[in-house]
Structures are given as structure tokens and as C-alpha cells.
Structure 1
């Protein structure tokens, strides 16, 4: 296509950034780009906010799971409060506050934990008594309410008004908005964005943001790009005017009943998120869709309506003014997709807001502007990256079926045993049927069926929510003790295997890795991919399997992300290629004191510690096959990772069981592996380490080679940090809670505040019961301006706050399980 052809008179011929989609997320990004001096162009097929934005409930919350996302939530609330002053356009923002109710004990504990987390994040919150709740919400039944969690600084906004205000603010600073302009195609040349074609002409650009909401999936798919989402119908009712309803009435959320309640011009707006929703637009959104409503399906939402009327008996006499139904887009895992795409350079996405578009909009707009201008956001966005999407998720049927269920992720009680039931069996390891026969109880992760624990009686999931001892805890205990006393076998074939090969493969890896990659063939290196700040973008092992060939093994969520990171930062002149070998290889891990004896019985190669030390990698005979054995362990035990061509995995698996079961070998699932790695203090990417953490802060400085010949991302930042000495202001440590037990808990999970001398000094990043130690253990990030050093830690005086109660905490730099690492190196 000739992108230089004449455009219509008012459409510019070029732009630094083109935004596709005039919902609140696209307009917010336009506004934030303009504030940074970038006059972007926004194209909207109809009118601004005419898709999903206009009918959103407009609830604005702040508290999120991560520090970075909570800060963005706080920023959004400030932006809405200040925008009206800046632009003169009313936004309807009211800091009414939100009240979350708990009806059962599990939800009650979660609200107590949220209250703890809010203190750490500097957000004032309160626990209300029933009388206080009745005073604020006199119309509802409160006798069965276990607790009420009040966040006064949350609020609500008029979505249409705030979109207009953002647009006005953007245009005042040089941005351009073109409504009634349909984008027909993104012009792509040599895998890069070159322009945007519309029904009014073509705009040349090197950067495009797709913020098309429920249109994004099929539009991206037509360009070979994966944006997993699908529209579903969303229902709410609006009552007749309610006497005594204040304009500043706090918003009410009842997760266990899947309903939310808010004031709307003197009336109540009450909405629900069903456990299983109704997909919309399976064949695409209608061409003429603009500010449209859908038919209200009374039968479908009857359970939610019944709960509303039971919670507020007066609804029957009050009368319902509006029964509303409008579409919103939902993603397979209930999280938005943000950032650069894997498939096309220069194409970014910000979409799939899962009914949280309004409360995400300010922070997302700020973040996307940083990404488009600076090349990376100022805060880590790992859980929301577009590059977590895998190619199979371009399948529309998959998105349709999962979206119907992901509506329910939005509310309900979320916990470790909450299962996904739709679109199952999509991705299976080669040994799936054998693992199922052995009692594997599977959960779904990005399509993979992953064994979480093994139950010989095959009773399946107990989906009764529990935060402490669970139905499977005894089975997990047996797996952990087998790892300590005998041996366990873990199938990790779903982990990504990325083959980097060619004359410049070592240079490409040295550019992104902190460790030295120019090592001898047959060496396995534990390292991190880094960013320019020295932050961690990936946590991987890299094995040199030939002079010009390396195998990168990374977690299954990072399969696309890590390939993209290597490509993004390589010199275009370098001669290398990346081959995704995930499906070509199985990965079986054998751990425990008997693991060497089991493997040695299947191989004539010398597996002694002298011949095959920790960190070594060898291609060896295994039963009747050949495969790579790598001396690694994520459990802290003697162990071998076996990287095998997939077609040999069944035969080797059978031989391992024949030899191993008489020696006490058991299967191990992901729950036990996680408990063991926490005991050993091994970091988990996404929980304990991420983009905002450096190796020196997280105790991984041993994996950084500052003096290697090749320059690498973040070296200057890390050199400055290292020059400051080993005691950094932030450190990852191991923690053990005193005075709790496995059955009654409470459990360390995530985000529990840690106190010392009357102030919060850190928080737990991950935790669980350690069955080998018989203790509640975890990893935590501590902060101290003077430096987190051994003397300060050894002085003690730490406590951890769990669900409102305080417990003594033992803290150390070394792990509590085998701190010298003798077991896994033996």
C-alpha cells in the first residue's frame, strides 16, 4: 500500500503515534502523550466513548495486589479530582468511598488482609461494625454480614464526562481526535508498523496503540497479532428514586453475592457479575454499533436479581426504572493486556479491561505514554503484559468460551483452589495420560493442564474456599517429605524451551543477561534478563549445548515474552535466530537423595559428583534414549533436569518409575514444588522478583558479571548499586513465623506487612507452610534507608501482620532449609 497517497483534507499525512479507539483508555493515553509533548492522533470509528465506556458503572478503586498497580490506582483517583480544574469540563468525580462486605470466614480473612495491605500502601481504611454499616446503608440486610471494609478515598465518576475532559485536555496540548473515521488496516512492512489506513486516507507512523476494546481481538487477529479477549453481556438495574439516598453514598461491593451497588442521580444502580456470563458478538461486533444496548435476559440474571432483592427487601416496593444490558470485553485470565506486541514491532495494545476500564484508565494512560515515548514504563507491568499471550489464544472460540467464565473471576472468592472449567484440555504435556493415571489433579495455566498435586484416590478438586489447611495439604506433605527422604519426579514439560543459535547467539544473550554467557559447552548458567534500570525481566537457566547453540529454559508464562526481550535488544546486524523448542522437548525433573541412584541405574555415564557437579550439563544415555541431564534443583535437593526429545519421554518415564518406586519415588505437583522452593529461599519470578527489583536487592548478585566484556542492559545502574556496598536499601530475605501451626495458620500468602520498631519495614512476597521444616516460611522484601544488613536483621524485633494479628518473625539472609546448599550440591 502506498502510505504517501493523498489523505482527506483534515487527516494528517503522518503522526508520531496513532491511537485506534476512542474509549477512555485510548483517550487517556492521548492525554498523557500530549502532556509529554507528543501530539498523537486518535481515530474513532463512531463517537468517543460509544463502545463500552459510556455505560460503565464508573467505580474508581485504588487498592491492588502489587505496589506498582496500587500507585497507578491512586494516581487515577488524583487525576479525576484534578482534571475538572484543568479543563473546565465536569467529570462527575465523587470520592464517596467503597465498602466491601464479607459474609463467610474466608472472605472475612481476605478483607482483614486487605486492611493490612492498605496500611502499607498508605491508603486509609476502616473496618465497620454492623451498626456503622447500617448507618451508611440502612436499606440492606446486615445480620449475616461478617465484616465490612471501608475505603473512604475511593469513589465514582461519570465515564462519558471524564472521557470528554481527557479529550479536551489532550487537544488543548496539540493532540488531534478524528471521530467517524474507520481504521481498515495497520500498514506493516518487514514486521514493523509503517502506517494506519482509514476510510479517509492513510497516516504514516512508526507507532500504533490498539485500544479498541471489544473490537481489538478480531482486528488484531486479522494482522496476525494475539489479543485474547471477547465481549460478554453485562447487566445492571437502576431503581426509581430512593428517599434518603445521599449523593455521597458509599459504593457497596458484595463479592460472595456477585453484586455491586452505587448511587446514580438519586437512584440506585445495582449490577452483577455472574459465575458464567453470556458471550456477545461471536461473529464480530455489528458495524453500526454505537451507544447500543442489548436485550435484557431476565432468566439469565435471575440468580443475581434474587440476591439483590433478598439483600434489600425494599427493592420490591421501590420499583425498577431501567433494566440495562451492554457488552464489555473480558480476557482469559481476567487481567488487561498492555504493552508492545510479540508479533509486530511498533504495535502496542491497551485493552481487555474486564469491566475495570474506568478505574484503570488514568494509570494505564500514563503507563502507555511512557512505553510509547521512553521505550519502557517507569513501573513494572509484568502481570499485565501483552507478551504473556500465547499464539493459540488467537483462537476465537477459546476466547468466547473462556470469557463467559472470566466474567465470574471479577467477583466471587478467589483462592489457591479456585478452578477454571471452560476451554480445558487445550495444551497437554506428552505424559498427560500417564500422569492422570498416577492421580494428577490438574489446574489450567495458559491452556496447559498442570499437575498441582497427586491423589492416588483421584477424588478431584475440593473447591470449598480455604486459606489455611486445605483438602490436599496432606498429599502435598507426602510429596515434600519424599523429596527430602527419597525422590520425586516432576513433569515440567510445559516450561518454555527457547533455542538461541548462530554465530552471534552468545552476543545476543550476553546483551540481556547479567551473567557471562560465553561459557564452555556443557555448562548451565542461572541468570536473569535485565532492563536498563537493572531490573529483572526474566529468571532463567541457559545451557550451552553446542558452540553456537544455547537452550534457555524459562517459566511457561514467559514463553513469548522472553523471546521478544532478546529480539528487542539485539543488534540487527547480529547473525542468530531464535527457535521456540517448547513442544519439541519434554522436561522431567528428578529430585531427592535417591535421584542419582535412580538415574545412574538407567545410564552408563558417570553421574558422580566429581564427574557431574552442580551446574553441569551433559548429553547422556537414559534407558534406550539420549537426552540432556542438567544438575539443577528448584527444591534444594540433589537433582537432575532431563531435557528430552518429546517422543522419548514415555519410555524414559516408565523406566524411571520401574527403578524409582522401590526406592520411594513419588510424583510431585506444583503445590509441593512451590512449598519446597520457599523453604529453600528460591525466588519466584512474578512474586519475589520482577521488573522493579535488581539482582543485588534480591540476593542474586552472584548471577551478575559486571566485568564481562560484552556490555549488557542495566550494567551502569548495577555498577552504581554495587559500589554502594552489599547492604542495599531493599533486600529479599527469608522469614519464619513463630507460634503458628499448619492446620490453624494463619498462612503467609502475599503482601503481609512486616513491622519493626513501630513502623512497617517491608512485606511478604510469597509464603506457605514448609513441610520439611514444619514451619510457616516465606520470602519478604525489607526496606531501610540506612541499608538492610546482617547486623540489623540479626538484632531481631520483627513481627508480621496477618489478617489483623501480629506474630513474631525470624528473619535472615540465608534460607532456613539447608542454608549452605550441601544437599543439592552433594
Structure 2
């Protein structure tokens, strides 16, 4: 069979992601899709996968995606007659310390919210389910009966058989040597067997994705690491199949294998593999055994499974897996190259994710969006700096280790830090900042740190630091740094017409106006939410989320066709400092700009602060009166020094989040996503009803069916520590889940935002399940602090 001259979609890579994507493309009617595999199907990572399928993930849609995989794998067997080797024996996650117990109890609560069966069991019951386990140090466990595992090669064989039956074609021993592009769009693929012209490419190349993406000018930050599991010969006590035993405190997963044991690990720091080591000849390949590296994990395994002492080792398998800078796979169209879609960087959960991820990737190619929001896996979420080899070699090994870490609030990655410095980095370090990394930027979470904070699910070490920052903004004045927010200059004769089309609010306001607006897709749901400053008739400056600049810039650029506008990313040219609080008026006057006190709410005006030119907007993300001041990045230190000398206190992201939640302000990626419209988010009043814009028709239809669901939750017990993603109960039933949660210092209560699905919810009593304990709460549409907004309007 020879290569066709043209295919609508070319899938590159014959592992689980490629096979699943091809099958779903064919199922969606793309009957001429083809798959190219350099060697043989499953010969990269897929063949040696431990192939565990565990449904629960940290978000509802990721969980939904795995549940789809489970349904698909069982359906395929009926559809094709090809066994997929599905073994459903459940999974048992044990805890050996109180914090791990809290972690898995949070998972249990989450499972209930997401419709996944899971229940806490005692150490004694855990021992009954896994008799070979040493349970002396086990304090409890969570049992998930619906989890299981599959045979990787059998799943792929079934997907391929079904895809072929729908007209798709597969070409093995066909390596890709180049990707053809024209005007920033893919048009074809060069292979060892000839050239295929195409409309789209699904890049499912696993270990080699970074290099293949570079062929098309796209950044694909993924790097291979060594991944180990031990296989033993048959041992006494293993009969039939066992549940998967997860001993995450010891970095281990354990199950039966052919009468023996499979003992795998995600050790705290993995071993990276330099690009080039795994070349085109790496087919069904393994890396050398490394007993020295595995020894600490082996000691942990001997403690948990005494029977290992006398077991005969079959082999220590060392197979490469690819990891991304944040531990989440990449799915969707790239920012750099139109028509190039990523389905890679699976972070060792390829088999569990592959069915649902392949379906969503095919859906994205055919329909222009995933079947449901998968924003955390967006292919456009990484800053260019993350794609450097130096960064990946440092970061990927740590990401491997985070798989089994306790998900403490505020936990920070330690590798590859200091990639991008804010203009005020020196000032923040001098003020004792505790930093987090967002899109490469080092951003202060709080100031005044005297020691590294301990990780806990209880009251955090930074509680009083954040309280001081919030109260400074509430009683005096504070400075919040918004410099990392993305900034896009929209200039040209059609600037207004372009933004009227792409934004949901009325953008035709006079120069000197600021506008908060939703940016919607054709389905009437969120692509982004932004603030725009109209600087002149032909010039707007858009402010977008810190980690959304690549995504939003690409989105606006692709919708600019036919408009006489130019778009420029000016993010690094400007710093933005928010001066907020009742003493802001005095401070701004003392710093040389008393005229800003006459600036109206949501109005923009020029001024000079400490003799530096700024553009100020009267607005507030924290609910206190003040301005956001935009200035040249090189002027930030001078302006900051003047503001703080006059009495303003620097404040970090934790304080900002607390104040945002008190005000009920929704944020992209937390309360807003591509499954949500302004109707459900309670923001429809900010949408223009007088113009046509992208999504306006769909939104009009949504208004007839949907209603506001985003609410404020006030928890009565001041000692409760909600973190977000907790189930909300009313009348004994789960009615929703929290999104962002924190302590509200101005109201003196733990608070959260939550999506609640029930009638007469406003004012209703509820409960929030925090790690198995239900705390009494009150639901309300009004925000927790200053519902009238009088304070922030000055």
C-alpha cells in the first residue's frame, strides 16, 4: 500500500495517543485520515506501559476524560472482537502519615463530587484486600473499586482494527523527515516513503515530540526521563489478579504480573534523557538497568512487601516516558503553527488518558475545540522559556517525582527557577518575598518570610503575613504587582471594529475608557476575560492573564484577518502596579499625581508619579479604592520606592486572591472556562445586547436555558481550611463544588466561590466537605465583602 498524495489529517506516531486519535477521527467522519509510524505500532513508550487506569483526577473534566477511556476500552472489545485485556480489580491507596490521610480523604470527597466510587477503609481492611502487604505503619486507605488496567498492545490493536474498518489507513516503517508549512500553516508531511499533502497534523510522537514539533516551527516542551519498574518471577501468595496498591509515601505502585509482582516507582528526582540518545533505531527499546538509582525504592518495596526478600527478579525494566514542565499533557492546536495539533507529553498516564485524550484531540481537529474544557492541558500554555533544553533537563526529573507527592496548598517546584524576573525582583527579595513561578515569572505570594513555610493542610505559616497585607489594603494602602499580566497592543484604523467583533462588551467607548469584557467562542463560552484601555481612537491596550498571553495573542491574531489592525505583544515593555486602599488618595497626591483623584471609575488617564510617566486606570481587583498604574518597566523601581516611602505596603498573590474571592470576582481557569458562559458565571450584565460578536447568537440561546450558578460560600467555622475543589452539600445531596477557596480576612471567615446547581440557592444553608469533615456554610449570590461596591469606587 503506497502513501496517498493527500490526506485531510495526518497522525504522526503509532502509540496509544496516535491510535486513539486516528480511530476517533475516522469515527467523526474523517475517512481519509492516515497514521504514520516510524517503526512499528506501540514501539515507543506504549508497549512497556504499566497501563493502569485510575479514574480520579484533580479536575472534573480530566476525571471525565479517564471515565471515557474506561468506557471506550470495554466498548472496543464488543465493537471489534479484539480483547483489550481489561482487568478491573480496583485500586487501594494507603496512607502512612496524617497528611497523606488528609490528602486521600480529600480525594475521596472529590471522587464523590465527580461520580467516581471511592471509600475510606481502615488499615485492617486494607490488609485484607492486600494480604502480602506489611500494614504495620498504615493508618488508613481509600478503596476505588472501578479502577483497573489494560493490555497496551491489545488496546492499540483494537483501535487500529476499528479505525481501518472506518476507512483510515496506517503506514508503519514510514518516518517523518520534515513538515511543510506555508504562511504559518501546515500543508504537508515529508516522509521516508514520499510526501503527503494535508490540512492538519496530529503530533502524537511521545518521546520525540519536541524535535518533531520543531520541524514545524512549534515549541513542544517535553523531555524523556527514565522510568523504572521491577518484575519478579511467580511468588507464593499471588493468585490471579490483584488490585493496584499505591504506596505513594514510599513512591511505589504495586500489582501482580504473571503470578509475580510488578513494583514501579516515581522516585523524588528522576533521571533525564538528553535528546538524541533515543534515535530512530529505538524500537521496542529499553535503557540499561540502574540498580544503584533504584536501590532506595527497592528498600521501600522490601519494607512494604516482605515477600520480595525471597522473590526471584525477572528484570528491572527501564523504559523512557516523556514529561512536561507542569506534569500535564499537551493537547490542541499550537500557537506558532496553524493546523499542527499536539497530543503528547503524557507524563506516564498515556494509557489511562489515551482514549479520552484521543477523542478530545480528534474533536479539536474536526470541530475547532475539545469536547469539554481541558484548559489545564492547552498546548499554548507554556512560555517560550520553558522549551529550553537546560530548563527541561532540570525540571522534567522533578515533575516525575511530583506524581506521588502530597498535594499541599502552596507547594512550589524547586528546579529551574529564576527564569524570568519582575522589574521589582530585588525589592521583593529585600522584603522577604516567598515566590511562585507563573509562566516563567517569579511572582511574590506573600512578603515578610523569615523561614521556609512548612507544608500543611491546616492553618498555613503565612496566615498572619497575608492578613497584614490584606489589612494594609483595607485600612491604609498596599501595592499589588500585575506586571506579568499579558499586554497586547491593538492598533490601526479598524481597532474598534475588530474588538467590537471579538469582545462581548461594548468596546466603542471614548478614548480614556477602561472596559472589562468577556472574550467568547462560537459556543458562547469563555475563551478569555480581559481588560482593555482605550488609549486613542485607533489604539487599545489589552490586559490578559499571565499564563494566557500565548493563547490569547494567537486567538486574536487568527481572528484579525480582514481587519486593518496590527497586534503587538508588549508584555515585557511595561510594569503594572496596583495602588489600593483608603490612603491611596493621599499617597498618589504626595507622589506627584493629585489629578488622579479626579479620575472617574473605569477611566484611564496619563499622569506622572515620582516624575515617571504612568497611565492610570481607576479600578480594583481587590475591592478597595485605587488605581492600576502602567509604566515603562525601567520606571517600576522609582515608582514603587515613592509609593512605599509614602506608606503603601507591598502585597502578594495570596492577599490578592483572598480579596478577589471576598468580592466574588471570577477568574479564568478557576471560575471561567470554555464550558461556562457569562450566564452561569453571573456576568451576563456586562455583555452587550446591542451588537453582533463572536458567540452572541449562541449566548442568546444559552440565556433561554441556563441561569446563574456561581455563588459565594461562607463557612461558619473559622478553623476550617478550604482549598478549592471541595463538594458542596445541601439537603444531604451534592449540589456543586468549590472553585477558589481561602480565608476572607475582611469578613473573618473561610470563604469560597462555587458552582451550585439547585433551586432557591440564594441564602440557603449548605455544607462543604473538607477532607471528610462537613462544615456548615451559607450560600449567597452577593459577594462576601462590600456588595454595593462603594469602597472600590472611592
Interval containing the TM-score (normalised by the shorter chain): over 0.9
The SS at the match of 1:89 is coil
Q: Residue 777 of structure 1: which of 748, 751, 762 is its match?
A: 751
Question: What corresponds to 1:58 in structure 2?
Answer: 51
Q: Which residue of 2 aligns with 1:567?
A: 557
CA distance in 1, matches of 2:480, 2:700: 38
> Which structure 1 residue ranges, 5 or more long, are not aligned?
1-8
CA contact (8 A) 1:508 1:566 kept: no
Partners of 1:248 and 1:707 in 2: CA distance: 63
Match of residue 667 from structure 1: 650
Counterpart among 576, 584, 599 of residue 587 in structure 1: 576
Q: Give CA-to-partner distance per residue, 1:111-153, whole Å, 9 cap, x none.
A: 1122122122222212122221111111111122122111111
- Residues 760 and 541 (structure 1), Cα distance of their counterparts in 2 relative to 1, 3 Å cut: same
Selected match of 1:221 from 214, 221, 224: 214
Matched, 1:732 2:710: yes
For the residues of structure 1 that align with 2:485 and 2:219, how far apart are their CA atoms? 20
Aligned to 1:49: 42
Match of residue 232, structure 2, among 226, 234, 239: 239
Contact map agreement 2:210 2:219 (CA 8 A) in 1: yes
- 2:422 is aligned with 1:433: no
Q: Please say if 1:502 is aligned against 2:492.
A: yes
Which of 602, 626, 629 does residue 639 from structure 1 map onto? 626
Residue in structure 2 matched with residue 307 of structure 1 by the alignment: 300
Q: Do the aligned partners of residues 286 and 528 (structure 1) sit closer, same or farther apart at CA in structure 2, a change above 3 Å counting?
A: same
User: Aligned with 1:116: secondary structure?
Assistant: helix
Decide which moves more: 162-171 or 354-363: 162-171
Query: 1:793-804 residue pairs with structure 2 within 5 A?
Result: 793-794=762-763, 796-804=764-772
- Note the C-alpha offset of 1:797: 3.1
Distance 2:91 2:741 in 1: 29
Q: Is the 8 A contact 1:282 1:400 kept in 2?
A: no
C-alpha distance after superposition, 1:413-444 (max 9, x if no partner)? 12223221111111001111121112111122
Residue of structure 2 in register with 1:5 after alignment: none
Q: Partner residue of 1:714? A: 695
Larger displacement relative to structure 2 (595-604 or 491-500): 595-604
Whole-angstrom CA distance in 1 between matches of 2:105 and 2:675: 27
Q: Which range is displaced more, 410-419 or 323-332?
A: 410-419
Quote the residue 2:596 is aligned against: 607
Cα pair 2:383 2:440 within 8 Å, conserved: no
Distance 1:356 1:730 in 2: 35
Q: Which residue of 2 aligns with 1:473?
A: 463
Matched residues in 2 for 1:492 and 1:604: separation?
20
Give secondary structure in 1 for the equivalent of 2:400.
helix
State which drifts further: 231-240 or 99-108. Answer: 99-108
Matching of residue 531 in structure 1 with residue 521 in structure 2: yes
Q: Relative to structure 2, which stretch is displaced further, 139-148 or 420-429?
A: 139-148
2:639 is aligned with 1:687: no
SS at match of 1:793: coil
Deviations 1:486-526 (A, max 9, x none): 11112221111111111222233222211111111111111
Given that 2:17 and 2:354 are in contact with CA atoms closer than 8 Å, whether structure 1 keeps it comes out as yes
**8 Å contact 1:730–1:783 — kept in the other structure?**
no
TM-score (norm 1): 0.94
Farther off after superposition, 760-769 or 23-32: 760-769
Deviations 1:141-193 (A, max 9, x none): 11221221111111001111111111111111101110100101110011111
CA distance in 1 between counterparts of 2:653 and 2:161 reads 51
Task: Please tell me whether residue 651 in structure 1 is matched to residue 629 in structure 2.
Answer: no
TM-score (norm 2): 0.98
CA separation in 2, counterparts of 1:762 and 1:498? 36
Separation (CA, whole Å) in 1 of partners of 2:497 and 2:42: 47
Aligned residues: 793
Q: Do the aligned partners of 2:186 and 2:216 also contact (CA within 8 Å) in 1?
A: no
Per-residue CA distance 1:349-377 (angstroms, 9 max, x = gap): 11000001010001011101111111112
**Structure 1 Cα separation of the partners of residues 754 and 536 of structure 2:** 38
Match of 2:435 in 1: 442
Secondary structure of the residue aligned to 2:343 is strand
Question: Is 1:280 aligned with 2:261?
Answer: no
User: Does the 8 Å CA contact 1:676/1:770 hold for their aligned counterparts?
Assistant: yes
Work out whether residues 409 and 723 of structure 2, in 8 Å CA contact, stay in contact via their aligned partners in 1. no
Matching residue of 1:295: 288
Contact 1:539–1:554 at 8 Å: present in 2 too?
yes
| Contact 1:221 1:394 survives alignment (8 Å) | no
**Alpha carbons 2:11, 2:201 under 8 Å: kept:** yes
Does residue 512 of structure 1 match 2:499?
no
Q: Does 1:403 align with 2:409?
A: no
Work out the CA distance in 1 between the residues paired with 2:508 and 2:717.
48
CA distance in 2, matches of 1:385, 1:618: 36
Aligned to 2:365: 372
Is the Cα contact below 8 Å between 2:679 and 2:707 reproduced in 1? no
| DSSP 3-state at the match of 1:442 | strand
Mapped contact 2:741–2:751 kept (Cα < 8 A) = yes
1:730: how far off?
5.0
Alignment match, 2:147: 154
**Separation of aligned partners in 1, 2:261 and 2:766:** 46
Matched, 1:126 2:119: yes
Q: Tell me by how many angstroms 1:758 deviates.
A: 2.6
- 2:559 is the counterpart of 1:576: no
Do structure 1's residue 331 and structure 2's residue 324 form an aligned pair? yes
Query: Pick from 4, 11, 15: which aligns with 2:3?
Result: 11
TM-aligned CA distance change 1:599 to 1:246, over 3 Å: farther
Shift of 1:284: 5.1
Match of 1:4 in 2: none
In 1, Cα distance between the equivalents of 2:659 and 2:98?
A: 28
Question: Secondary structure, in 3 states, of the residue corresponding to 2:199?
Answer: coil
Q: 2:684 aligns with which of 701, 718, 731?
A: 701
The whole-number CA distance in structure 1 between the counterparts of 2:142 and 2:497 is: 53
Distance 2:438 2:235 in 1: 45
Partner of 1:6: none
- Structure 1 residues 779 and 496, CA, compared in 2 at 3 Å: closer, same or farther? same
The SS at the match of 2:380 is helix
Match of 1:3 in 2: none
Matched-pair contact (CA < 8 Å) for 2:132–2:237: no
The answer for the alignment partner of 1:102 in structure 2 is: 95
1:337 deviation in Å?
Answer: 0.6
Q: CA deviation at 1:729?
A: 4.4
1:191 aligns with 2:184: yes
Find the residue that maps to 2:409 and give its secondary structure.
coil
For residues 469 and 576 of structure 1, the distance between their equivalents in structure 2, rounded to whole angstroms, comes to: 50
Deviation at 1:773, TM superposition (A): 1.2
State the partner residue of 1:809.
777
Contact 1:225 1:394 in 2 (8 A): no
Query: Counterparts of 1:825 and 1:730 in 2: how far apart (Å)?
Result: 25
2:164 corresponds to 1:171: yes
